[in-house]
Amino acid sequence: MKITMVDLHGQYERIREEINNAIQEVLDTTAFINGPQVKTFAQHLAEYNQVEHVVPCANGTDALQIALMALGLQPGDEVIVPVHTYVATAEVIALLRLEPIFVDCVADRFTIDVTKIEEKITPRTKAIVPVHLYGQCADMEPLMDIARRHKLYVVEDTAQAIGATYTFSNGLQQKAGCIGDIGTTSFFPSKNLGCYGDGGALFIRDHELAERARMIANHGQKIKYHHSVVGCNSRLDTMQAAILDVKLKYLDEYSAARNQAAEHYDKGLATVKGIILPQRAANSTHVFHQYTIRVQNHLRDELKSFLAEHDVPSMIYYPIPLHLQEAYAKKGQGQGTFPVAEQLSEEVLSLPMHTEMKAEEQEYIIEQIRTFFN
């Protein structure tokens, strides 16, 4: 059998007719840019997320940049971000001449350590960007409390957790990306809701903020050739919107399939000594964009090589914390500054995880991991 990290072809085959019909409709109308499917998809995604506005854009990185631009942050303003995340989270901050301020993460949830945020707040701090990593939400209730007390914006990076639900202590439930001032997501093909190219979106409750984000994404114009602010050119093309609108109907089904696969891994790996299985937070559902284990005793790279030799792919997200990346290095933030992120960078290993996982594939993967540790 051929095991893959993601099976996009198998997923396509199950909805082939619907996808092909959606693509054909775009081809027939030739409305390739800003066609009606873009607005329709945005409306359907807003309904799914129970949020007032969805602003589509070209990709997830653009979504983060547009969010920070829409908030009116100025060069030199500080933005707090987790140090264990993909570079795009900090990249857009630096590109806008803002200052990324790193915070360590919690080992069991992999997300930003909320208890360490306040010690990083200064008079220049303007925003916090929590990342909902691997498929579940950061601990948003205490984070939002900190943001309110210090009058900070919150921009959620939801590229890996679309569809997850966060539950507050009073019982209120909100979708990932719809808790702070702005949520952002990516529709990269391997994401839980992925298109067949590139795409992204912002989730916004405030009408004026949503209008500003739309304007920024469209060259800073609300009326053609009238440019009110400096903007950019970032749009979700019609073909991708049509594909996403089909796949959105299956998002909950996809999440359930991923959870079923995660439970299969849990059961098969529960007694393996030397690994720590991914934990589920009590106040967030998990949509398992990744099934990420921690491999102890400095055996991660050996296990990865062993699996590769037995035709099992795996991935390391992320091998180098942001503070140790050359582009983001700062005096006084060398090795040892963020111990949890540094430990995770040496331990994390993501196993194959997708909507088309077969029991026999997982049994083979589990068997190889057991063999390695026995």
* pLDDT of res. 343: 98
Please give the backbone phi and psi of residue 55, each rounded to the nearest 5 degrees, phi first. Answer: -110, 105
* pLDDT of res. 1: 82
Residues forming a β-bridge with 125: 78
* pLDDT of res. 331: 86
CA distances from 115 to 79, 336, 345 (A): 16, 18, 21
Q: What is the pLDDT along the chain (374 residues), one digit of tens a residue?
A: 899 999 999 999 999 999 999 999 999 999 999 999 999 999 999 999 999 999 999 999 999 999 999 999 999 999 999 999 999 999 999 999 999 999 999 999 999 999 999 999 999 999 999 999 999 999 999 999 999 999 999 999 999 999 999 999 999 999 999 999 999 999 999 999 999 999 999 999 999 999 999 999 999 998 899 999 999 999 999 999 999 999 999 999 999 999 999 999 999 999 999 999 999 999 999 999 999 999 999 999 999 999 999 999 999 999 999 999 999 999 889 999 999 999 999 999 999 999 999 999 999 999 999 999 99
| Distant-in-sequence, close-in-space partners of 139: CB < 8 Å, separation ≥ 6 | 106, 109, 111, 114, 281, 283
Report the first-to-last Cα separation within the chain, whole angstroms: 24
**Active site includes 249?**
no
* pLDDT of res. 89: 96
- Please return the burial class of 290, using the count of CB atoms within 10 Å of its CB with bins 0-12, 13-18 and 19+: buried
* pLDDT of res. 109: 95
Structure tokens at 324: 């140790």
Identity of the amino acid at 175: K
The answer to whether 372 touches 273, Cβ cutoff 8 Å, is no
The answer to whether 129 touches 112, Cβ cutoff 8 Å, is no
Neighbouring CB atoms inside 10 A of 192's CB total: 23
- Please return the burial class of 231, using the count of CB atoms within 10 Å of its CB with bins 0-12, 13-18 and 19+: buried
Ordered structural domains, the chain, with CATH: 8-104+111-245 (3.40.640.10), 251-373 (3.90.1150.10)
Residue with tokens 């840019």: 33
Structure tokens at 105: 């993460």
> What does the angle CA 74 – CA 75 – CA 76 come to, to the nearest 5 degrees?
110
Dihedral sign of CA atoms 218, 224, 225, 229 in order = negative
* Continuous H helices in the chain: 8-14, 16-29, 36-49, 60-70, 88-95, 140-149, 207-217, 238-248, 251-269, 300-309, 339-347, 359-373
DSSP state of 313: -
* pLDDT of res. 167: 98
Catalytic position from the list 191, 247, 273, 358: 191
DSSP state of 116: G
**CA nearest to 186, candidates 263, 92, 319:** 92
